[in-house]
């Protein structure tokens, strides 16, 4: 069945460029002279060029620019033409880039297009930048942002493009920083504060202002969590709350004993989003899962906005192992971090039959849905230290403690198994309970449901897996982009991302 262009465009916009390219070529769109096909051809080749370097990048940029230029010739428009201009620069032809940029400016002045004022302004700024007018580009970009000041993701796309252009021109990209969206904060801390709240509030306010924080991710336990959340709201930041075990269990364990129910309710009412995480019957794992999700979501939001993630952890007078582990985990990534107060050295968690883990579900498509056939896949697996391998219906399950190792293994596995027949991969992150060597629990059910909805050659992940993956140091060459939600009867939908 031929995949239509809109479906491939959706994949490309979601960041699943490699899967989009495979479907694009398989459908024969790469041989089409239709302007829409040529524009998408240019986009997909551009993604490949930006992922390459040196001579390979220049060659792919030239091919992408040619496709965009052909689209603009067939149906004059600024979108393909400005991309053709930028790609000429990446291909090593600044004169052609400037000439095409001049054509873009002419089109903007003479040919009405249905694009938004933001897009027209950003396009003008990019054309001026390609023509060497940095001051004009900066002014045009400021004007465009003023028209749509909260279009953070659109701003981020443009800033990434400008950074690439400036790097090829050998210029200083520092002026872009003034236009970047606000940063994203992961916050956590002790229930027992070792300094007066007024003193801590002043220091928190200073960090929020200096770091230009616009988004916050964390829980709302008594003490540090609530204080930080209140200061974020006071600064006008968008607050995203994650509650281990659900609201009732969380309030009972982490709020009510300190008499801060009213403060909790007031903050919760103003939060931009609230979600329950994990199983209240496994409070320790629920807290760890919520922490991973909060850290990863802060990183993912910053990445989507071409901004930076920051962590703020507040120590205290009571036991601080929880905060210490979060601070230590974040520090390994080298990201921006602020620690107020003292934290004890983080200690390893004891082993337990129930553990947080990354779950990879491998489904051979078009083959008998039998456990025997599925387990035969295990013979073709690469070496996977620390992995638990088990069968579940028509899927093979790989359980690994480290999300990054799981993602790398899944990518290698997809490449290896694709040569022997159609296969899809899915992933989730959550509490796994081992019973007689067999992985059990709701997280396994979710992973299998994602696998059943994942198309051939694709690798779909739950938001929980993507967040756990991004909470640490993301493996080189691996990215995650939203592709929609998985509906579940009687349960909340599961946000899905393509891993590519």
Q: Are 156 and 176 a contacting pair, CB within 8 Å?
A: no
- pLDDT band with cut points at 50, 70 and 90 for residue 421: low
- pLDDT band with cut points at 50, 70 and 90 for residue 168: very high
Q: In whole angstroms, what is the distance from residue 390 CA to residue 398 CA? A: 7
Q: Where in the chain is the domain with CATH 3.40.50.450?
A: 183-340
- pLDDT band with cut points at 50, 70 and 90 for residue 485: confident
- 304 or 423, greater pLDDT: 304
Mean residue pLDDT across the chain: 87
Residue 238 class from Cβ within 10 Å (0-12 exposed, 13-18 middle, 19+ buried)? middle
Whole-model pTM: value is: 0.84
Q: What is the pLDDT of residues 294-331, one digit of tens each?
A: 999 999 999 888 899 999 999 876 665 678 888 988 99
Residue 368 class from Cβ within 10 Å (0-12 exposed, 13-18 middle, 19+ buried)? exposed
CATH fold label, 5-179? 1.25.40
Query: CATH for 354-499?
Result: 3.30.70.1230
Identify the weakest region by mean pLDDT among 190-204, 363-377, 379-393, 442-456.
Answer: 363-377
User: What is the average pLDDT across 71-79?
Assistant: 93
How many CA atoms lie less than 13 Å away from 470 in the CB half-sphere?
Answer: 27
Q: Where in the chain is the domain with CATH 3.30.70.1230?
A: 354-499
Q: Where in the chain is the domain with CATH 1.25.40?
A: 5-179
Identify the weakest region by mean pLDDT among 18-27, 121-130, 138-147, 149-158.
Answer: 18-27
Phi, psi of 246 (to 5 degrees): 95, 165
Q: What is the pLDDT of residues 277-286, one digit of tens each?
A: 988 888 888 9
- pLDDT band with cut points at 50, 70 and 90 for residue 414: confident
| Range 183-340 has CATH code 3.40.50.450 | yes
Which pLDDT score, from 0 to 100, does residue 182 have? 95
∠ Cα 239 427 249 (to 5°): 45
How much of the chain exceeds pLDDT 90, in percent?
A: 53
- pLDDT band with cut points at 50, 70 and 90 for residue 173: very high
Q: Which one of 148-162, 354-368, 450-464 scores highest in mean pLDDT? A: 148-162
Radius of gyration, alpha carbons of the chain: 25
Does position 379 have pLDDT exceeding 80, yes or no? no
Which pLDDT score, from 0 to 100, does residue 370 have? 46
């Amino acid at each position: 069945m031929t995949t239509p262009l809109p479906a491939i465009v959706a994949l490309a916009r979601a960041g699943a460029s490699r899967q989009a390219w495979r479907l694009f070529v398989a459908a024969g769109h790469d041989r089409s002279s239709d302007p829409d096909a040529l524009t998408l051809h240019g986009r997909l080749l551009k993604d490949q060029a930006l992922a390459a370097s040196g001579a390979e990048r220049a060659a792919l940029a030239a091919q992408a620019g040619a496709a965009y230029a052909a689209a603009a010739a067939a149906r004059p428009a600024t979108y393909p033409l400005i991309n053709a201009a930028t790609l000429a620069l990446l291909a090593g032809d600044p004169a052609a880039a400037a000439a095409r940029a001049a054509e873009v400016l002419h089109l903007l002045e003479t040919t009405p297009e249905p694009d938004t004022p933001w897009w027209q302004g950003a396009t003008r700024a990019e054309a001026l930048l390609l023509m060497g007018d940095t001051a004009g580009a900066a002014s045009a970009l400021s004007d465009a942002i003023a028209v749509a000041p909260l279009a953070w993701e659109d701003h981020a796309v443009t800033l990434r493009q400008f950074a690439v252009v400036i790097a090829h021109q050998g210029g200083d990209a520092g002026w872009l920083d003034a236009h970047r969206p606000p940063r994203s904060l992961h916050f956590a801390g002790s229930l027992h504060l070792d300094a007066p709240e007024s003193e801590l509030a002043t220091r928190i306010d200073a960090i929020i202002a200096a770091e230009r924080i616009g988004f916050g991710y964390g829980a709302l336990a008594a003490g540090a969590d609530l204080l930080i959340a209140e200061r974020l709201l006071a600064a006008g930041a968008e607050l995203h709350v994650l509650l281990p075990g659900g609201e009732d269990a969380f309030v009972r364990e982490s709020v009510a004993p300190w008499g801060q129910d009213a403060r909790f309710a007031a903050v919760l009412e103003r939060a931009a989003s609230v979600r329950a995480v994990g199983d209240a019957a496994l409070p320790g794992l629920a807290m760890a899962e919520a922490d991973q999700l909060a850290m990863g979501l802060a990183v993912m939001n910053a990445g989507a906005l071409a901004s930076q993630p920051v962590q703020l952890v507040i120590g205290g007078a009571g036991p601080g192992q929880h905060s210490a582990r979060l601070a230590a985990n974040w520090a390994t990534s080298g990201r921006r971090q602020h620690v107020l107060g003292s934290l004890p050295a983080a200690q390893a968690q004891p082993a337990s039959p129930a553990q947080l883990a990354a779950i990879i579900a491998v489904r051979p498509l078009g083959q008998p849905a039998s456990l025997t056939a599925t387990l035969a896949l295990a013979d073709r697996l690469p070496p996977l230290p620390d992995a638990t391998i088990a069968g579940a219906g028509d899927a093979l399950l790989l359980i690994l403690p480290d999300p990054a190792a799981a993602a790398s293994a899944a990518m290698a596995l997809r490449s290896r198994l694709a040569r022997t027949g159609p296969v899809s991969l899915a992933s989730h992150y959550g509490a796994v309970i081992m019973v007689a060597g067999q992985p059990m629990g709701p997280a396994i059910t979710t992973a299998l449901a994602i696998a059943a909805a994942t198309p051939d050659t694709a690798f779909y992940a739950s938001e929980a897996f993507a967040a756990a993956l991004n909470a640490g140091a993301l493996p080189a060459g691996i990215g995650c982009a939203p592709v929609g939600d998985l509906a579940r009867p009687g349960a909340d939908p599961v946000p899905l991302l393509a891993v590519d």
